Structure 1
Amino acid sequence: MLEDMIVAQPRILSSEWMLIGRQVDTGFGGRIDLLAIAPDGTLVLVELKRDRTPREVVAQALDYASWVERLDADDVAGIYSRFQPNRSLAEDFHANFGQMLDEDSINESHQVVIVAASLDASSERIVNYLNDRGLAINVLFFQVFDHDGQQLLSRAWLIDPGEVQVQAASGAKRGEKEPWNGEFYVSFGADNTRRWDEAVQHGFISGGGGSWYSNSLRMLSEGDRVWVKIPGKGFVGVGRVTGPRVTAAEFEIDGRPALEILEADYHRAHLEDPEKAEYFVPVEWIKTVNEEHGVQEVGMFGNQNTVCKPVTPKWRSTVEALKVRFGVS
């Protein structure tokens, strides 16, 4: 019943994932209950506990994750065509997320979500242990109540989903990982919502419109160096973080509320909504260029996460090239 409810209304699972498969055949005798995709192309494997023991469902989810890790763009498109016949994954992705699907970004990382009414203490320890050590795994607790002929649904996460998103965003495909180089990647969505020239003038980066876009800003601490890319235009700046993430309502410029000074929207309509509000991180810029002069070369790293700390060789080579282009040591 819960699986039917999620398929009918995926937002009860997450408002920021798009379902792309149901009862996906792994080819070795197992079926993944639900498969979803995040705005950055991360795949989300969802397993319902059903009547299995907690340890069994954790083990099975990890087994399925080993299969998901090997999926390429064509495999994912095939899964979606079986889930939604005669529909285009690329077109539906764009309709859901307002951005084009980059085939190179599909399944660069993945995360596991176990859906259960309850979980024993041992299994909770296992999930926390795995997540603490870099495997993006979480548990979503659902309970269904009958009230006056209606069914009410409550949910709670075992681990803050923002933390698990960060784990997934920091990952890389099997065989492609290397030690993180200490440099943060930032995606700055410059459009009617936010303006790059204002970010340069007043010293900030920002993200919002959903917790998926603002959660990763929490990764940044004072002193961190960030390389900022505007999707579709290239890298436009490098700077140092000077303070923590704050909401649009809290962010100030020269002692005044920022939204009294800034002209772009910055999700003002959601100012009081902690999930959809815009969040800001102050930055002291080292070097910036205008949008039309963004640096974009073949093979450079790109990702839709607002912030991530990539561990792929592509990120190391990208930063080394950008240091030369921006004259930064």
Structure 2
Amino acid sequence: MPIRTDLWKIGSQPEQLVESILQAEQLLEDMIVAAPRMLSDEWMLIGRQEDTGFGGRIDLLAIAPDASLVLIELKRDRTPREVVAQALDYACWVEKLRTDEITAIYSRFAPGRNLADDFSQKFGQPLDEDDLNQGHQLIIVAASLDASTERIVAYLSAQGIPINVLCFQVFAAGDFQLLSRSWLLDPVNTQAAALTKPDTTNEAWNGEYYCSFGDGASRSWSDAVDLGFICGGGGAWYSRTLQLLNPGDRVWVKVPGQGFVGVGRVTGRSQPAATFKVTTPNDTVSILDAVKSGDYHRQFLDDETRCEYFVPVQWLQTVPLTQAVQEIGLFGNQNTICKPTTPKWRATVERLKQKFPSFDSDAASLSA
């Protein structure tokens, strides 16, 4: 059924807010440009109303922390089939954008600004041209959603197309209007699907997970080894892919800029810092009482979107950062967790098995 939200004004006699409409669909696009966090605080807008050369213009274009692109189309007054078909058509254009073309798009969107500099300032990491546009998402923004659009998008998503709908509903509150926001599908699945290009170079997933662990001010690899965990936080983009992991999964960990540092088996599901506990020689304590380095986004402890999330891991083999495995040709990605399907990942795992010979150690206690 179509996404619907009801809002109520709190009081001794709760009052349901009346659903309203925007004065103009254009207003929604203008508001998104003025406040991109309406869509996501993990994307940076880089383009607006760009000519695709296919007889149309995209509404908005954004970039994610892993340098993948996000195509954003507003439903406006188009039929469900029209807006979905147009998004897919525009995706053909997005997929083929080169680095120089993306840079030029940003120059038109933000004259006088530099894409690499602004990316680094936004995400706290350099923009690697090799990672730029290695995947993309299709996001349809609608002020209302009908059953037909929902069925079409859900079907495409189930086929591995990285498509989702962000539905905004408008409510009247006196002289003001309020917006509510709802995703049609879990964004973690769309983000994961964006990493897989539907081309002939991909192959069946080998069952091995990749983890990007950002050692630094926010978290510590030595803590992770000593206490048995991997983690991510500071925003949903960095933490939600941890939900892909289940007990028994094997995960290979890479510290960006250093190399691969360990392999382990997952022993539990993702948990926020507020509830995650670890066992020390003396007692079972909260993770934030046990770690020795890193802030683990303590300032966001009560913010379920930006707090740090942890997954317990039984390490099979680890090395210190000074012995990290870094070789030309090994796989890398900025997503905290991903399921790569490229030949490069298969070759990387085979090489890592040589470097970490205990990768298949017996782990009878994993289910404990």
Same fold (TM over 0.5): yes
Task: State whether structure 2 residue 132 is matched by structure 1 residue 106.
Answer: yes
State the match for 1:189 in structure 2.
Answer: 214
State the match for 1:2 in structure 2.
Answer: 28
| Correspondence 1:23-38 to 2 at 5 A | 23-38=49-64
2:289 to 237, 260, 277: 260
| Correspondence 1:1-329 to 2 at 5 A | 1-169=27-195, 171-172=196-197, 174-254=199-279, 255-263=284-292, 264-327=294-357, 328=359
Given residue 52 of structure 1, which amino acid in structure 2 is its aligned partner?
Answer: R
What is the deviation of 1:267?
A: 1.1
Given residue 143 of structure 2, which amino acid in structure 1 is its aligned partner?
Answer: A
Distance (whole Å) between structure 2 residues aligned to residue 172 and residue 122 of structure 1: 26
Encode CA deviations 1:178-197: one digit per residue, 9 max, x unaligned: 11111100000111111000
Distance (whole Å) between structure 1 residues aligned to residue 347 and residue 37 of structure 2: 38
Paired residues of 1:226 and 1:238 also in contact (CA < 8 A): yes
Given residue 37 of structure 1, which amino acid in structure 2 is its aligned partner?
Answer: I
What is the deviation of 1:139?
A: 0.6
Distance (whole Å) between structure 1 residues aligned to residue 70 and residue 179 of structure 2: 21
Distance (whole Å) between structure 2 residues aligned to residue 283 and residue 211 of structure 1: 21
The number of equivalent residue pairs is 328
Distance (whole Å) between structure 1 residues aligned to residue 115 and residue 329 of structure 2: 24
Distance (whole Å) between structure 1 residues aligned to residue 112 and residue 118 of structure 2: 11
Paired residues of 1:109 and 1:173 also in contact (CA < 8 A): no
Given residue 98 of structure 1, which amino acid in structure 2 is its aligned partner?
Answer: G
Instruction: Give percent identity, aligned residues only.
Output: 62
Given residue 262 of structure 1, which amino acid in structure 2 is its aligned partner?
Answer: V
Given residue 184 of structure 2, which amino acid in structure 1 is its aligned partner?
Answer: L
What is the deviation of 1:51?
A: 1.1
What is the deviation of 1:83?
A: 1.1
Distance (whole Å) between structure 1 residues aligned to residue 339 and residue 98 of structure 2: 22
What is the deviation of 1:173?
A: 6.1
Paired residues of 1:185 and 1:310 also in contact (CA < 8 A): yes
What is the deviation of 1:280?
A: 0.6
Structure 2 SS opposite 1:105: coil
Q: Indicate how the Cα distance of structure 1 residues 183 and 246 shifts in structure 2: closer, same or farther if over 3 A, else same.
A: same
Larger radius of gyration: 2
Structure 1 SS opposite 2:303: coil
Distance (whole Å) between structure 1 residues aligned to residue 143 and residue 34 of structure 2: 19
Structure 2 SS opposite 1:51: coil
Once structures 1 and 2 are overlaid, which stretch shifts more, 31-40 or 265-274?
265-274
Gaps of 5+ in 2: 1-26, 361-368
Given residue 243 of structure 2, which amino acid in structure 1 is its aligned partner?
Answer: R
What is the deviation of 1:77?
A: 1.3
Encode CA deviations 1:153-204: one digit per residue, 9 max, x unaligned: 22111112122112223x1363331111111000001111110001001110
Paired residues of 1:143 and 1:155 also in contact (CA < 8 A): yes
Given residue 235 of structure 1, which amino acid in structure 2 is its aligned partner?
Answer: F
Once structures 1 and 2 are overlaid, which stretch shifts more, 316-325 or 93-102?
316-325
Given residue 333 of structure 2, which amino acid in structure 1 is its aligned partner?
Answer: N
Paired residues of 1:69 and 1:174 also in contact (CA < 8 A): no
What is the deviation of 1:86?
A: 2.0
Paired residues of 1:172 and 1:310 also in contact (CA < 8 A): no
Paired residues of 1:229 and 1:235 also in contact (CA < 8 A): yes
What is the deviation of 1:17?
A: 0.2
Given residue 22 of structure 1, which amino acid in structure 2 is its aligned partner?
Answer: R
What is the deviation of 1:29?
A: 0.7
Distance (whole Å) between structure 1 residues aligned to residue 179 and residue 276 of structure 2: 35
Structure 1 SS opposite 2:59: strand
